[in-house]
Structure 1
Amino acid sequence: MRHSATISFCIGLGLLSLHVLAESVASKAFTPKLSRCPPGTALVRSTGTTKQTLGPDEERYISTRKRQVLPAAWTSYLHSIESKAKALGVVLPEYVSHVLSSPNLNPTLGLAISGGGYKAATFGAAHLTMLDARNETSVKFGTGGLLQAASYMTGLSGSAWFLTSLAQANFPTFEELIFGPSGRERHSKEPLYSGWLGQFDYFQPGNANQSLEYRNSLLSDVMGKFNAGFPVTLIDIWARALSRHFANGTTPKNILDEDVPHGAGITLSSLSSLPVFQEHAIPFPIVVAASITKKLNASNFFNQSDGPPAPSVVPLSNPLYEFNIFETGSYDPMLTAFTPTKFLGSPNDSICVTGFDQIGYVASCSAGIFSIFNDSAGSLEANPIGGLFLQMNATLSQPGIELDAGALPNPFFGHAKEMFPDSDEKFLRLIDGGEGGEVTPYQPLLVKARGVDTIFAMDSQADNEISFTDGLSVIASQQRASLFSSAYSFPRVPTSVETFKSEGLTKHATFFGCDTTTSDAPVIIYSANGAPPLGQPPVTNLSGIETVFPPDQARAIFDQSFDIATQGIPITNVHGEVEKDPEWPICLACAVTDRMRLKAKAERSGICATCMARYCWS
């Protein structure tokens, strides 16, 4: 049973009419604006089906980054690896040095960060710190610099908060991102970035009266959008809560201040003007959302002959959408179309909407888990999200609008009528990007036009009863790619959780796709939150739906995740002690360059042959 105006996180809300809430500064900034479209505006770009093409702005960004930024980044990373190899007394194969020092051979590297709430965002941040040239420990370890050499970063759900927060804060270090800057930005003219405000509950950040006023301010924030004629759902409320925790301008002192915009007005498309994007200094970020669509939800189209799919709210065959600073759309074969992100919500090529693509809204669409609580009236009533649903339903007249999903005015209305299931729907209904089971966002990195050679995947989904990872997302991702084999290629991976468990594939780093003589699919460097590192007591196995995340807990998870990222497959040394694999940074470089080695028809040799025998699943 699904309800057409649906759900909330709040209980005990007063029945204050939304219509009489005063329009706040945040409400004005959150309200989309309509104006005449610029001359020559086209709201739909077809990517093509047999040979897909990138959007022109993305293509320019990536080509400029590859030309002006990446050669030096790969060279710097090579120097770090060479220093590590020298310290270990090993010799890098000639092809590794050749690939990393030759711009025409540099791999196209993508970084995929799983969903899973605060825990996943912190797990990803710690891994990226391991790859960050700005971190001296990582450079000495031999892994620092891969972040700067990457072309793409993808996120969904909790990692969508992470990516949007990172981008709008102009790409700070990851410790600054989580815990706040050290003070060097204090004199900036831009609103202060204070780090993640996880010490405050999303919907109850103070005492009872303060929390009631806070929740009413969230409702007030979205009323301008409603009065302008746009649908308002719980995703909008969620957007305003997320912005108060992750966006510029909100601090521990002003989080309850209704005269502060709290990130309202910061749009995804506007980030392209930030220095980090103008200088092409950040891997191109992509946020993924799943969808609810009437025509495909009734039956599950994927082949289950290789084992059961990951449990999900929607079938893997439903369209996945990606948001980037330039375009929003899908490369899935049933659609293959994009619209300009800055004009999301536009009704036609004459009247354009701006301001719809709020970063909080994009993050909340990607993290909209509300549909899992909306399968029956009883489960809805039993969940603490029922209160706000009742208040919104009682005061807003929105026939046919389901409140548990984002309602995006459909830019592809009438497009691809024979294949696109929502071609005749006024709104796209967007939900958590992992609700189809693909909790790690591989899909954008499988688009053939992007030519990704290597994916570093950080998987911290809570798959089992103790909230560790069992590999379900990898299985689901392979199954989804097989549905659309004409568009995507995925390497061979285990088809059952039992294999992941029996071989311990989530308890240490594993390479997939390195057991082949073809280069159709990328190599996946897989690092999962499958167990605590080296016998430490576990702290990283949170459920993923925590609503409070104080700094001491964030620090503990960050530090343990960094240990997971840097341990490789632990070894027993000559003293009988279990320790991190000292050759892990070298093995990582072998995996990063392996696809280009194959394309160059070079044979694996030396330390890389040893590494791949140790880490490559086959």
Structure 2
Amino acid sequence: MTQLQAIVAAASVLSLLSPGADAWSPTNSYAPAKVSCDGKTGLTRKGGSISDAEASWLAKRDPVTSAALKTFLDRVTSNFADNSIVEQIFSQKAPRAGYAACGGGYRGMLLDAGTAAAMDDRTPGANEHGLGGLLQGISYITGVSGGAFYTSTVAYNNWTSVQEIIDQMNDGDHSIWDLSQSPLNPGGGDSDYTNQLFADVKQSIQDKADAGFKVSLADAYGLITGYYMYPGLAQGGAMYQWSDIQNVDKFSNGEMPMIIEVTAIVPPGATTAGLDATTIELNPFEFGSWEPSINAFTDMKYLGTELNNGDPVNSDECVVGFDNVNFITSASTDVINYITTQGNAMYNSMVAQFQQKFLGNITTDRVDTNIISPNPFKGTTFYDSSSESNELVETDDLFLVDGGYGGQVIPLTPLMRQERDLDVVIATDNSYDTTEIWPNGHSIISTYERQFMDIGKTDAFPYVPDYETFAGLGLTETPTFFGCDGSNLTDLAYVPPLVVYLPNRAYSYQSNISTYTFTYTKEARLGMIQNGFEIATRNNLTDDSEFASCIGCAVMRRKQEQLGLEWPSECDRCFQRYCWNGTLVNNTTPISSSASNNGTSTTTTTTTDGASYVTELTTLSSSEDFSTIHFETSTTITCDECEQPQPTVTTTTIEEDCSDSQAQATTTIECEECEEEAKANGNGNHYTTYTSMTTTTEVCEECEEAQATATGSANTNENSNGSSSGSSSGSSNGSSNGSNESSNNSNGSSNNSNGSSNGSNGSNGSNGSNGSNGSNGSNGSSSKVSSSVPTILQVTTSTPTYSGFSVVQNVNAANTVGITTGLTVLAMITALMGLF
């Protein structure tokens, strides 16, 4: 790939906004300014609908997304026996799609970027090996925390592609996402660069304070990160506003999605935001909340204007320039609040030094939040009068923190709103939920539960299972569709969009890197982006060659339901594979270790790692036809820095009297020279899982038939691909209702389910085996029903690639980027304290 130098990167990737009254700070600095309102009043409106400006923009965007989705769906359904459903849908009304980019610091940003690249037809190979063209059909993209780093980067680099960013990516040249140096030492060995950057940041904050506006360390945090996201803008974007997106040609012409970032309000008297805190959405037109505590939106351009019930308090005096792009992105990504709320003396010392360095003698109401002052909702009466408190419309200031602090690390709420009429939402989950930095479903469960709280009563979200079910069914190991059957969601506030859930897992790169890792080499960044591509595409469509078609089915589902169109059999098979149908692990009937009922005998085998697998042998009537029995078992072994285990397949053919035939399942795992290493590491954290299959073929005439099935318990250990038992203590408030949701099952016998799974990455960063191409899933039963062992038919060792990204293997990656444990905040502070 072409590697450009910093000046070329700034010129070729970035198309600068033109300076002017509407596209540049009126003070030519970070400081806002007071200007004439030009007779404007009513700058705050009641919620309950999208703004007129958004509606006008959608009128331009909808024809673009309709054409793009039609092209995408025609391509991914071209293998259907009958894909006339596409034409039928688009003759009525095109679907509308959204993308929720999850948080997680730089980990989230890079993985979200990889998912976007997988959906972008500007990425070489995305059409052939991914979901190319889907991004062009998306209407809205939301971001929080690390996801907001991704969204703001592409928005303020003129809707650049991830591929363009990759093509100019380097270490040490201050190009976009040059993360080779920490934000606390952005120049590395170039102290002049660091000193000048920090001096500019301090001066920007001083300018804002001198103009009469409240400041905090969140201003410094946002201004510093701007140099990493918008290196081609003067001082990292210190003079550009969030509302400037309205003036970007690609946005104003409807050629790019609307970017929405999410933040949360710290309740008066509280230190941080919880799940019940009011969330604020930040879109190019407005700043506001749908939630009953506020239920109002104000004009983004005039944020900072003193208002009473939406009208300027000082006649014809408005403020512009307050909505600085770095300040807005900081509100959605700020980590300062986390540091200050830990009650740690060293943390407090570090914050005090930051405060002295960047704020000097400036006094501040709160050092750790983004301060919105004056409050644009003061005096408004749009809030729910039945609420216990109207404190958010009475207070003078609003204090904003990272929108994921309450638990909603996936910014789903703005995309779920009925007013935006979305049909499907693609949602990444890069959360730091487990000790090994993998998701366990916490974020999506939080969003689901929140709709049953007073703060979320105007929201709707599909049923999702509890933590135990997420772990037991392996829902964080493969994509899962939630809300597949709209008829089962009618008891919610409204029928929400179908959600395609894409959890972080390791394919070609060990992507469980700590949120508090602030430096990434170029190789690490490329590895993370590529892994994000593979998460979104089921390993470049090698785990399931029909996955792009299944995403197409998810896009069409709501419109198919609304129009009453016949559902293609191919989509039915997809939904059998990917839809969660309401099954809960803690509601399933356990199988006894030894039982016999109606001709069915069961046995339970517990492997040395404690994982239990149940084999059922069922005797059917002699009239049933007999074919081949497939036994599948999965064995997890503990190996540290040893040779990669190799699975073997055993085939037994029995040609004798059926009464004597025995079905056997055999798994052989070889792992040499690892026993001592495992013991030395306390049995280690490196778990390698391989699946092998035993096929027993019986040739029998006029005799009883034996059928065999294999199911696995949830009693498996965590592996290096991110499998986690999760937490069994939390359960969804609406779990009982969740069981009502089911996929659109068709009748008929089961087909062999040919979806594949991956071997996990071995120790020391070696690559796991990639699964084979998938084919048809079971027709008539759901792959999300039980924690069955993977239906893998063969194991390959090649690493699929596509032409757009260079392949970066993760050998010894832990030595360079701190994989798994990462940099904790404490370690970061200890290492960097000397800078201050």
TM-score if structure 2 supplies the norm length?
A: 0.61
Q: Are the structure 2 counterparts of residues 216 and 380 from structure 1 closer, same or farther at C-alpha, using a change threshold of 3 Å?
A: farther
Q: Do the aligned partners of 1:163 and 1:285 also contact (CA within 8 Å) in 2?
A: yes
Matches within 5 A, 1:73-152: 73-83=68-78, 85=79, 90-99=80-89, 101-102=90-91, 104-141=92-129, 143-152=131-140
Matches within 5 A, 1:44-443: 44-47=44-47, 52-66=48-62, 68-83=63-78, 85=79, 90-99=80-89, 101-102=90-91, 104-141=92-129, 143-177=131-165, 180=168, 194-205=175-186, 206-207=188-189, 209-210=191-192, 211-249=194-232, 260-294=234-268, 297=270, 313-348=272-307, 349=312, 350-375=316-341, 377-379=343-345, 381=347, 384-391=350-357, 395-398=361-364, 401-409=365-373, 410-416=375-381, 418=385, 419=387, 420-443=390-413
Partners of 2:197 and 2:500 in 1: CA distance: 43
Higher RCO, Cα 8 Å, sep 6+ = 1
Q: Are the structure 2 counterparts of residues 607 and 231 from structure 1 closer, same or farther at C-alpha, using a change threshold of 3 Å?
A: same
In the other structure, the counterpart of 1:308 is none
How far does the alpha carbon of each residue in 1:96-145 deviate from its partner, in whole angstroms, 9 at most, with x for none?
Answer: 4432x33x321111110101111111111111111112234122236211
Q: Are the structure 2 counterparts of residues 142 and 242 from structure 1 closer, same or farther at C-alpha, using a change threshold of 3 Å?
A: closer
SS in 2 for 1:335: coil
In the other structure, the counterpart of 1:580 is 543
Letter matched to residue 122 of structure 1: L
How far does the alpha carbon of each residue in 1:526-585 deviate from its partner, in whole angstroms, 9 at most, with x for none?
Answer: 1010x313xx5x421111222212221100111122122111799xxxxxxxx4101111
In the other structure, the counterpart of 2:448 is 478
Letter matched to residue 157 of structure 2: A
Partners of 1:472 and 1:133 in 2: CA distance: 32
Pair 1:532-2:496 in alignment: no
Q: Do the aligned partners of 1:115 and 1:439 also contact (CA within 8 Å) in 2?
A: yes
Letter matched to residue 610 of structure 1: R
In the other structure, the counterpart of 2:461 is 490
Partners of 2:85 and 2:409 in 1: CA distance: 34
Tell which structure's C-alpha radius of gyration is larger.
2
In the other structure, the counterpart of 2:498 is 523
Q: Do the aligned partners of 2:174 and 2:228 also contact (CA within 8 Å) in 1?
A: no
Partners of 2:174 and 2:345 in 1: CA distance: 38
Partners of 2:349 and 2:549 in 1: CA distance: 49
In the other structure, the counterpart of 2:651 is none
Give the deviation of 1:347 after TM superposition.
Answer: 1.2
SS in 2 for 1:71: helix
Partners of 1:217 and 1:510 in 2: CA distance: 46
Partners of 1:207 and 1:27 in 2: CA distance: 33
Give the deviation of 1:384 after TM superposition.
Answer: 4.0
Give the deviation of 1:153 after TM superposition.
Answer: 0.6
SS in 1 for 2:451: helix
In the other structure, the counterpart of 1:14 is none
Structure with higher helix content: 1
Give the deviation of 1:615 after TM superposition.
Answer: 0.5
SS in 2 for 1:134: coil
Give the deviation of 1:494 after TM superposition.
Answer: 0.9
Give the deviation of 1:385 after TM superposition.
Answer: 3.9
Give the deviation of 1:377 after TM superposition.
Answer: 5.0
SS in 2 for 1:517: helix
Q: Do the aligned partners of 1:176 and 1:195 also contact (CA within 8 Å) in 2?
A: no
Q: Do the aligned partners of 2:273 and 2:401 also contact (CA within 8 Å) in 1?
A: no
Give the deviation of 1:373 after TM superposition.
Answer: 1.9
Letter matched to residue 325 of structure 2: I
Partners of 1:375 and 1:136 in 2: CA distance: 45
Partners of 1:108 and 1:424 in 2: CA distance: 37
In the other structure, the counterpart of 1:553 is 524
SS in 1 for 2:110: helix
Q: Do the aligned partners of 1:96 and 1:590 also contact (CA within 8 Å) in 2?
A: no
Q: Do the aligned partners of 1:152 and 1:286 also contact (CA within 8 Å) in 2?
A: yes
SS in 2 for 1:294: coil
How far does the alpha carbon of each residue in 1:419-464 deviate from its partner, in whole angstroms, 9 at most, with x for none?
Answer: 4332221111000010010000001012111111111101111111
Give the deviation of 1:78 after TM superposition.
Answer: 2.5
Q: Do the aligned partners of 2:169 and 2:177 also contact (CA within 8 Å) in 1?
A: no
Letter matched to residue 370 of structure 2: G
Q: Do the aligned partners of 1:508 and 1:568 also contact (CA within 8 Å) in 2?
A: no
SS in 2 for 1:261: helix
In structure 1, which of residues 595, 601, 606 is the aligned counterpart of residue 569 of structure 2? 606
In the other structure, the counterpart of 1:464 is 434
In the other structure, the counterpart of 1:38 is 38
Pair 1:453-2:418 in alignment: no
Partners of 2:566 and 2:460 in 1: CA distance: 23
Partners of 2:457 and 2:162 in 1: CA distance: 37
SS in 2 for 1:130: helix
Partners of 1:134 and 1:373 in 2: CA distance: 39
Letter matched to residue 345 of structure 1: G
Give the deviation of 1:248 after TM superposition.
Answer: 4.6
Letter matched to residue 69 of structure 2: W
Q: Are the structure 2 counterparts of residues 601 and 375 from structure 1 closer, same or farther at C-alpha, using a change threshold of 3 Å?
A: same
Partners of 1:38 and 1:414 in 2: CA distance: 22
Structure 1 stretches of at least 4 aligned residues deviating more than 6 Å after TM superposition:
none
TM-score if structure 1 supplies the norm length?
A: 0.81
How far does the alpha carbon of each residue in 1:173-200 deviate from its partner, in whole angstroms, 9 at most, with x for none?
Answer: 1122355389xxxxxxxxx994222122
* % identical equivalent positions: 27
Instruction: Identify the range of structure 1 (119-128 vs 207-216) with the bigger mean alpha-carbon deviation.
Output: 207-216
Give the deviation of 1:314 after TM superposition.
Answer: 2.5
Partners of 1:82 and 1:322 in 2: CA distance: 35
Partners of 2:64 and 2:480 in 1: CA distance: 29
Q: Are the structure 2 counterparts of residues 599 and 222 from structure 1 closer, same or farther at C-alpha, using a change threshold of 3 Å?
A: same
How far does the alpha carbon of each residue in 1:490-511 deviate from its partner, in whole angstroms, 9 at most, with x for none?
Answer: 0000122x21111111111100
Partners of 1:213 and 1:106 in 2: CA distance: 51
Give the deviation of 1:369 after TM superposition.
Answer: 2.1
Partners of 1:229 and 1:395 in 2: CA distance: 15
Query: What 5-or-longer segments of structure 1 have no aligned partner?
Result: 1-24, 183-191, 251-259, 299-312, 571-578
Structure with higher strand content: 2
Q: Do the aligned partners of 1:291 and 1:429 also contact (CA within 8 Å) in 2?
A: yes
Partners of 1:562 and 1:475 in 2: CA distance: 24
Q: Do the aligned partners of 2:77 and 2:552 also contact (CA within 8 Å) in 1?
A: no
How far does the alpha carbon of each residue in 1:382-435 deviate from its partner, in whole angstroms, 9 at most, with x for none?
Answer: 67444213556761133xx11100001210112237543322211110000100
SS in 1 for 2:29: helix
How far does the alpha carbon of each residue in 1:66-123 deviate from its partner, in whole angstroms, 9 at most, with x for none?
Answer: 1x3123212221332144x2xxxx4255324432x33x32111111010111111111
Partners of 2:459 and 2:296 in 1: CA distance: 16
SS in 2 for 1:426: coil
Give the deviation of 1:238 after TM superposition.
Answer: 0.8
Q: Do the aligned partners of 2:340 and 2:348 also contact (CA within 8 Å) in 1?
A: no
